[in-house]
Amino acid sequence: MSEASSRPEARAPRGFVDRRARDLAAERAILAKVSAVYERYGFEALDTGAMEYADALGKFLPDADRPNEGVFALQDDDEQWMALRYDLTAPLARFVAQNWETLPKPFRRYAFGPVWRNEKPGPGRFREFTQCDADTVGSARPEADAEIIAMASEGLFAAGLPAGAAILKINNRKLLNGLLATAGVESEGQKLAVLRAVDKLDRLGPDGVRLLLGEGRKDESGAFTKGAGLAAKAAEAVLAFTAAGVGGRSETLDRIADVIGGSPEGDEGLEELRRIDQALGGLGVGPDKAVFDPSVVRGLEYYTGAVFEAELLLSTTDEKGEPVRFGSVGGGGRYDDLVARFTGERTPATGFSFGVSRLASALRAAGRDLGGQARGPVVVIAFNQDDMAQYFGVVSELRAAGIPAEVYLGGSGMKAQMKYADRRLSPAAIMLGGDEIQAGTVTVKDLDLGRELSAGVTDNAAWRAERPGQQTIPRAELIPALRRILEA
């Protein structure tokens, strides 16, 4: 075997992506801004470990024959299966169950970090990505849901979304349960089939969903999907229910009340939404930011009450300028049964989660990239090996002043070094040759100005005329000169 054939191929595993400074800067900016909102609401930061015992992951528990199904798992030396966390909610439930006696109640926490899913990757679907969650555990009040909704809305706009760019859509699984009970639907299988049909409303429209609520639907390829088997009257009631979310929140509640027929569970859901509406009004969250939408069915088999979804409304384009629809950028709801998996006692909980990378991509597609162009450091050109101590003296001075700086440590000449500084998007290059060292001066080249001029920027011409592209100044004036470039 030849040496070349024995070398490993440089490749990243499918579903895992490399991120450079621009992507990291955007995500860090989002997390910093959203965290500030969450802390202002009184939520405590919490970081749990990357791995959990596999049986703590609920429905993602690996079975005996396929321990890596859905998660990345390994067996510890005590033969217990551990898995990388699938989300940030299951670790919270475990933490709460383990520490409930010592926690303030309700317990309000936010968390962010990577999660891992052992699923088939695809466009926009990764095996590792960053989530950001906020949850309240220990309060059954609908007002706790309202506060999560208000905080989610404020957090998304703090992250960089312009006004009117996103809306929180709210529903309650008790409403649909009440409707289905009135229609005589009792089996969990039929309920789930109804949920799946309604979830396709955006894609198939009312006519397509009507077929899926009934006997079934044949798609363009001829493939047949079996329907939920509802009678025609019940199917029309479900469609009327999903269409009730038009206008203000109170008007929507009135229309829903007319449809669900006064079932006990449906009335309970209506009362919860009324209390959410009142609390949102007190929090200053109007119908331009949060609406009631009965067509939202995200994870209704998991959530126990209110559910909400953040939908992106602004126009976005891909790198080729083609329109692209992001749709949902986050969601959540009330899940009162999760902690009970550990304790046997129902513990009310509600929360919201969004994908940080997805939101960063949406902001970039909308031309609002928080990462911008990742700025490089000031670069000190290395002319002579004998003067390295001088070069490092300059960068030490700049770093002490809070200015990122580096000495070029490659083996190329001055032209290549300048190209390197430009490729790093450095604001300036420092030249310290023998003459400058002897005279106690430095030469500063304003690379930002050069990029501005090459891009054909024509505004503020008078200011540019006073801004020298290259200047030789006393060493003592170096930091003020660089600050003027950086502030510009």
Q: Does domain 378-487 have CATH number 3.40.1190.20?
A: no
Let me know: does 136 contact 148? Beta carbons within 8 Å: yes
Q: Name the more confident of 133 and 256.
A: 133
Q: Is the dihedral of CA 268, 272, 273, 278 positive or negative?
A: positive
Q: Is the dihedral of CA 119, 20, 372, 320 positive or negative?
A: negative
Q: What is the CATH number of domain 21-365?
A: 3.30.930.10
The residue whose two tokens read 């529903």 is 171
Long-range contacts of 280-287 (CB under 8 A, 24+ apart): 280/146, 280/149, 280/150, 280/249, 283/146, 283/147, 283/150, 284/150, 285/146, 285/149, 285/150, 285/153, 287/248, 287/249
Residue 333's DSSP bridge partners are: 307, 351
d(CA 280, CA 152): 12
Q: Residue 312: which pLDDT band, with cuts at 50, 70 and 90?
A: confident
Q: Is the dihedral of CA 286, 356, 93, 48 positive or negative?
A: negative
Give me the percent of the chain exceeding a pLDDT of 70: 90
The residue whose two tokens read 């089939």 is 193
pLDDT in tens, 404-447: 999 999 999 999 999 999 999 999 999 999 999 999 999 999 99
pLDDT over 90 at 5, yes or no: no
Q: Residue 57: which pLDDT band, with cuts at 50, 70 and 90?
A: confident
The pLDDT value given to residue 177: 86
Query: Based on the number of CB atoms within 10 Å of its own CB, is 54 exposed (0-12), middle (13-18) or buried (19 or more)?
Result: buried
pLDDT in tens, 160-210: 888 888 999 999 989 988 888 887 787 888 888 888 888 888 888 999 999
Mean pLDDT is lowest, of 27-36, 88-97, 339-348, 462-471, for 462-471
Residue 61 backbone dihedrals phi, psi, to 5 degrees: -60, 120
The pLDDT value given to residue 324: 62
Q: Residue 364: which pLDDT band, with cuts at 50, 70 and 90?
A: confident
Let me know: does 298 contact 151? Beta carbons within 8 Å: no
Identical fold at 21-365 and 378-487? Answer: no
Instruction: State the pTM of this model.
Output: 0.83
The Cβ of residue 213 has, within 10 Å, a number of other Cβ atoms equal to 26
Domain boundaries, the chain: 21-365, 378-487
The pLDDT value given to residue 317: 62
Mean pLDDT is lowest, of 59-63, 94-98, 332-336, for 59-63
